[in-house]
Structure 1
């Protein structure tokens, strides 16, 4: 037992050492990503609202939704103070970006801190999407049908509005656990009402209320697809607790093999295991951190982190094979739980 503890401590220290020089935030890299995505989004918004016909309006709005979705990922970096390293910027800007889309950023930031501590460890994790076998047994048949079609329902039906409602519900439920949650709830609701009161008055004044509603509906659909797909990919079918918190996060998160451009658009979150293990490493350093951590794991004869084949391929594959969190798989070197396939028989 003593040798094993010493070995685990040695691995943890070595992982800390090999990534220590990657934690310096470069404000220029973060501002460049923030500015490029924001400028493209705002340009498309201007194009949409100046469009002479409905087809161009819808097309420009759909493109704006894509870039708004990627721009909003910058708010995730700001949650960890790794976009610019400027506390005032990373506190004010994510709220100004999120409230127009009715995204409760302040609530999300509190929930996300719990998620980083509980992922793979505590089933109370507020961002856990995969159901456990025990939970599934207690569900009504209609909800069992939903679980077996969860990816399709969440990504294409519930979308952005589903995420918004779920985040508010989680915030309300966690009020007694997180001391500042009530304040964050009030802040988000007040901010959203203020922002949309101004935007709605402008739309009414211009006689564009129907176009205003259509504009936000299109954005919600597009952003919902991007965000829901990313959320599902990050941890689905990987639940498990290892010897240390660092190793747990390395094995309970999914890494996606993709192009450098897509990785940049996703804020480096294709290296999600690395981010979860060391959340203070900025997005532009995550690829290098991944390579260094792999060498440490190999040195200590531990399983290497996997790079799965692309966002679309992984989404398609996992959505076709819904599963539940079972008991710990004793044959797994990473203490991962068994993944129990959901079959037609189980849905009854």
Structure 2
């Protein structure tokens, strides 16, 4: 048995050992987060619809959309069954709160398993947002312009609709690879038709169709900004395969500085490297897991996980410094180097 294999095995065992007691799910913490966010959202919706002033209606709807986004992030925990640990809850509730926004939760949940397996190592990853050098070179000039301005276009223009279409497209693309995807597509489409049939009937009956459409559009814009930003931040610029699966996930996922409130709202996903390496750890245990894993990495003389500046700061930086994945010269940690794009040239990093 080679020395590298022995060291990799020991590392994996040590990582599993230090995190073994952190997989315990606190159902109260999970349901409290879900109920509080849902209550705030529904309260804001009630207030918005009780006012006749359209400007006030729009303003309150913006805040409602923000809390709806945080509420929807709870559905990510449910894909891993780490919010409450209640399987029936994880099967029913995320669909009920996703379908009003046309979010195909069933398709997303199936694709998300591929993402956890392929992140950093397989370019087919359905949640990969960063383009490769080859994809960029083979694209038309207009597409290359889009890649250089991808963050702004995706976050502010594509928004929620962009994520919805992307998820359906990948669901259809991988339907033969993941056998349950055709059924999940059918379930989501059927659920959306049913939910929106009820909502639209209610709006039309009460003469509020235009207001309902405005309300949905505001929610879609706000939720899209939050979700697209999160989607881009989590892995952009970090693509690369390490010696083991867990190291790949630790290094190919971004950790961000955030206070306890932001961390709670984001479901602990500011510790995204930890989540990817150990998706069974619930959100409230991710900070502790991060510290323990750093200790293991240090004891094995491996690079520590980086913690980047907060969500806003890192978004501004990465959006103005677009990069490409370049498959070329291997290094100790990565099999991919990054290519930095500028307006006039391309510089290897």
Tell me the equivalent position of 1:337: 336
Question: CA offsets, 1:85-143, max 9 Å, x none?
Answer: 00000110000010001000000001100000000010000100000001111101110
Tell me the equivalent position of 1:153: 153
SS at match of 1:326: strand
SS at match of 1:339: strand
* 2:173 counterpart of 1:173: yes
Tell me the equivalent position of 1:24: 24
Structure-2-length-normalised TM-score: 0.97
User: Is the contact made by 1:303 and 1:333 (CA closer than 8 Å) also made in structure 2?
Assistant: no
Q: Using a 3 Å threshold, how does the CA distance of structure 1 residues 336 and 41 change in structure 2: closer, same or farther?
A: farther
* C-alpha distance in structure 1 between counterparts of 2:45 and 2:6, whole Å: 57
Matches within 5 A, 1:69-84: 69-84=69-84
Further displaced range: 221-230 or 334-343: 334-343
Tell me the equivalent position of 1:319: 319
Residue 48 of structure 1 and its aligned partner are, at CA, apart by 0.7
Further displaced range: 168-177 or 30-39: 168-177
SS at match of 1:217: helix
Tell me the equivalent position of 1:220: 220
User: Is the contact made by 2:321 and 2:342 (CA closer than 8 Å) also made in structure 1?
Assistant: no
* C-alpha distance in structure 1 between counterparts of 2:328 and 2:253, whole Å: 17
Further displaced range: 338-347 or 297-306: 338-347
Residue 52 of structure 1 and its aligned partner are, at CA, apart by 2.5
* C-alpha distance in structure 2 between counterparts of 1:80 and 1:258, whole Å: 23
Structure 2: runs of 5 or more not aligned: none
User: Is the contact made by 1:107 and 1:181 (CA closer than 8 Å) also made in structure 2?
Assistant: yes
Tell me the equivalent position of 1:236: 236
* C-alpha distance in structure 1 between counterparts of 2:328 and 2:97, whole Å: 41
Tell me the equivalent position of 2:207: 207
Question: CA offsets, 1:62-98, max 9 Å, x none?
Answer: 0000000000000000000000000000110000010
Matches within 5 A, 1:120-159: 120-159=120-159
Further displaced range: 50-59 or 61-70: 50-59
Question: CA offsets, 1:273-308, max 9 Å, x none?
Answer: 000000000000000000000000001100000110
Length, aligned pairs only = 346
* C-alpha distance in structure 1 between counterparts of 2:290 and 2:344, whole Å: 41
* C-alpha distance in structure 2 between counterparts of 1:287 and 1:253, whole Å: 15
Question: CA offsets, 1:228-284, max 9 Å, x none?
Answer: 000000000100001110000000000001101000000000000000000000000
Residue 337 of structure 1 and its aligned partner are, at CA, apart by 2.0
* C-alpha distance in structure 2 between counterparts of 1:71 and 1:296, whole Å: 33
